[in-house]
Amino acid sequence: MNVQNNKCATALMFATGNGHTEVANLLIEAGAEVNARANEDLTPLMFAMVNGHKEIVSLLWGKSADINAQANQGVTPLMIAATNGYNKMISLLTEKGADVDIKDTDNWTALAKAAREGYIEVVNLLNRSRYGC
């Protein structure tokens, strides 16, 4: 179930990254590890995040995926969402308790990454989550 390819990716990572919710759920029910790590320490949640698969993010969170997991460079699922301007994902992750203050290895937060990319709504969402305003 948790067999990894030459890049250490699992079947669950492929399913989550490609938006296959039913397949991901079947794999999890069969024992797939929701916090497995591929090369660069990417998790199934991060694979889902890259392509904006909100339903899968909800599924993984409900199965105890680490919402604040950090990849090799310190990148979190929230940072991936912020870098891509995924407003709905930002809302979902912050509602589920994602830590908006985590910094990557370059000392960047999700807020800084969203500001760099010019995503005004994401910046507003992260500010509201952090400061309650």
Give the residue among 91, 87, 85 at the shortest CA–CA distance from 114.
85
Domain annotation for the chain: domains and CATH numbers: 1-66 (1.25.40.20), 68-133 (1.25.40.20)
Q: 74: phi > 0 → left, psi -120 to 50 → alpha, else beta; which? A: left
Give the residue among 10, 23, 85 at the shortest CA–CA distance from 55.
23
In this prediction, residue 133 carries a pLDDT of 55
pTM of the prediction?
0.89
The chain-wide mean pLDDT, for the chain, equals 91
Give 30-68 pLDDT, tens digit per residue.
Answer: 999 999 998 788 999 999 999 999 999 999 999 999 999
In this prediction, residue 38 carries a pLDDT of 86
In this prediction, residue 129 carries a pLDDT of 86
CB-count burial class (<10 Å; 0-12, 13-18, 19+) for 89: buried
All residue ranges of the chain with pLDDT < 50 are 3-6
In this prediction, residue 7 carries a pLDDT of 52
